[in-house]
Chain A
Amino acid sequence: MVAHAIFFYFFSIIAIISAIMVTASRNTVHSVFFLILDFISISCLFIMIGAEFLGMIMLIVYVGAVAVLFLFVVMMLNVAQQKNQWFGSSKSSSHIPIGLLVSLIIFFELIIVVGGWQYKPDLLNSSTITVSENISNTHSLGNVLYTDYIHLFQISGMILLVAMIGAIVLTFRERAGLKRQSYINQISRERKDGIQLVDVPSKKGVKIDV
């Protein structure tokens, strides 16, 4: 039990410090690295409460894919060069009030959610979730995800699909004069399409490049 507490505080302190460093660090790329550290410590916390599936999915999806794309964008857009001077310079601090407002609203929403949790005691009974000792976390999650919550699951998949298609449509531009390689055209090309045998009359030559 003591070891459990030690590990819990270890991971949660790292999570909190790295979350602070995400906003406090000057270099944008460093912020993303701290965000990754935050994700990793949170997935360790998930694993510690026995939600090993959630922890691993967190690692795979957020750290393995989403954060890589974050890094990709941050590095490509070259925002690393423009240092964060949110509290330092006067001209770039105009968005601080809006940011503070949004974070305050989120903070109060979280308080309401956590505080209102106790007024919903029949939360567990309202579904067919059976908590059993000998069923692993992953199995029980799969059992409810594809039965009770199949519609929500499919709708969330659809939302992701729509977001993906939307992003592609917004950024897709048809450019003129773009050369493409078509395997079918390459393979279906035959000898007679490329080669022409000509009898050349003497001293007259033949016109090529018609």
Chain B
Amino acid sequence: METLNLLFNEIYKILFLLIPVLVTVAMIVWLDRRVWALVQKRRGPNVVGPFGLLQSLADALKYIFKEIIIPASSNKVIFILAPIITMTLALVAWAVIPFSENLVLSDINVGILYLFAVSSLGVYGIIMGGWASNSKYPFLGAIRSAAQMVSYEVSIGVIIINVLLCVGSLNLTDIVLAQQNTWFVLPLFPMFVIFFISALAETNRPPFDLPEAEAELVAGYQTEYSGMMYAMFWLGEYANILLMCAMGSILFLGGWLSPFDIEILSFIPAPFWLIFKILFLFILFALVKAIVPRYRYDQLMKLGWKIFLPFSLIWVVLTAGYLLYFNLLPSQL
């Protein structure tokens, strides 16, 4: 009986986290389209509900009632598994995101490694979908995105090392608490910029959306998908974007902390600060989508390997040297 109670308690907690995340993902799609439209002096979705807020719900309803077409020559098991994996991985990572000092589903020791591992597994959904479709464009899209995501993960990993040098712990709560005096965005500003751009590439957002470049590859790895399976890819993609925004706000923007520890601002509860920061980063993502043209593939690879990787490696040496010279290395032991 005791274990059963414990189990139900955990399930309640998980639902309490997952349902807001899913609703936010639906809302954020609306926000994305709206920002995109406003930059281009259009109106964007504004018909369904107040300000078009229910547009995503209408879209989801449409996807649910559409027929799911599975191509005859596809590899059916993997074809069906691909969107499920994308969606699951995008949601499973939220378990370690701390919304305030005590409000975290699982406060594990290696939280940042877990986040990094889950985000690097995200490539499998795309690669499986592209391969199982057994068709040219999805396959080309999948190959492109595999190369792209593996390349940019490397520089994200090095950037994370930069932050970890300043913190001395892999725990996400410790990372946020280490930023009580200054957010890491100030001392590590170049790393924040590189993290932001690499996050764009990691989530296949414009200007790096080559895996689904419609001018060349129809819709990339999503070409053969329809109905609910397409919607799951789509939800997973946006959940991943939100996750990257959350990761950016925890690593660089001080997570749930209010700016500069000002007393007056602390009447806003801690989780809301994290949500504000995630939304801020997301609006930046949406703006980038609207104003930057798509990269060419060789330029994308050159940027990742020849510019970002050496630069962030040099920055690791600089950070370590600075911390060592001024005796600022975190000593938790």
Contact = CB atoms under 8 A, between A and B. Distances in A.
A14 to B, nearest CB: 15
A64 B120 CA distance: 5
Interface string A56-67: 110110011100
Nearest to A40: B121
A29 B124 CA distance: 13
A72 B128 CA distance: 11
Interface stretch (A97-105, A112-120, A130-138, A149-157): A130-138
B123 A56 contact: no
Interface in B101-133: 108-110, 113-114, 116-117, 120-121, 123-124, 127-128, 131
A144 to B, nearest CB: 13
Nearest to A56: B113
B120 A29 contact: no
B131 A75 contact: yes
The A interface, classified by DSSP as helix, strand, loop or mixed, is helix
B333 interface: yes
A33 interface: yes
A64 B117 contact: yes
The B interface, classified by DSSP as helix, strand, loop or mixed, is helix
Nearest to A3: B3
B14 interface: no
B114 A56 contact: yes
B198 to A, nearest CB: 15
Nearest to A36: B124
Interface stretch (B51-59, B142-150, B207-215): B142-150
Contacts of B298: 181
A76 interface: yes
Interface in A44-91: 52-53, 56-57, 59-60, 63-65, 68-69, 71-72, 75-76
A189 interface: no
Contacts of B78: 33
Interface string B65-83: 0000000000000100000
Interface-centre pick from B110, B157, B170 (highest chain A CB count, 10 A):
B110
Interface-centre pick from A68, A138, A143 (highest chain B CB count, 10 A):
A68
B153 A52 contact: no
B131 to A, nearest CB: 6
A26 B146 CA distance: 24
Contact of B146 (A33, A60, A68): A68
A60 B139 contact: no
Interface in A25-51: 29, 33, 36
Contact of A138 (B110, B123, B139): B110
A63 B85 CA distance: 14
A8 to B, nearest CB: 18
Nearest to B109: A136
A187 to B, nearest CB: 14
A95 interface: no
A181 B143 CA distance: 24
Contact of B110 (A33, A36, A52, A72): A52
A173 interface: no
Contacts of A36: 124
A135 B109 CA distance: 11
A56 B150 contact: no
Given A68-B150, A72-B143, A72-B146, A56 B117 contact: yes
A29 B117 contact: no
A98 B170 CA distance: 45
Contacts of B128: 33
A57 B113 contact: yes
A138 B121 contact: no
B110 A75 contact: no
A139 interface: yes
Nearest to A53: B110
B117 A59 contact: yes
Contacts of B113: 53, 56-57, 60
Interface of A: 29, 33, 36, 52-53, 56-57, 59-60, 63-65, 68-69, 71-72, 75-76, 135-139, 143, 181
Given A29-B131, A59-B117, A138-B110, 8 more contacts: A52-B108, A56-B113, A59-B121, A60-B120, A68-B123, A68-B124, A138-B109, A143-B333
A-B pairs, top 10 by smallest CB distance, nearest first, are A64-B120, A56-B113, A59-B117, A60-B117, A136-B109, A52-B110, A56-B110, A56-B117, A68-B150, A68-B146
22 contacts: A36-B124, A53-B110, A53-B113, A57-B113, A59-B117, A60-B157, A64-B121, A64-B123, A64-B153, A65-B150, A68-B124, A68-B150, A71-B127, A71-B146, A75-B127, A75-B139, A135-B333, A136-B109, A137-B109, A139-B332, A143-B333, A181-B298
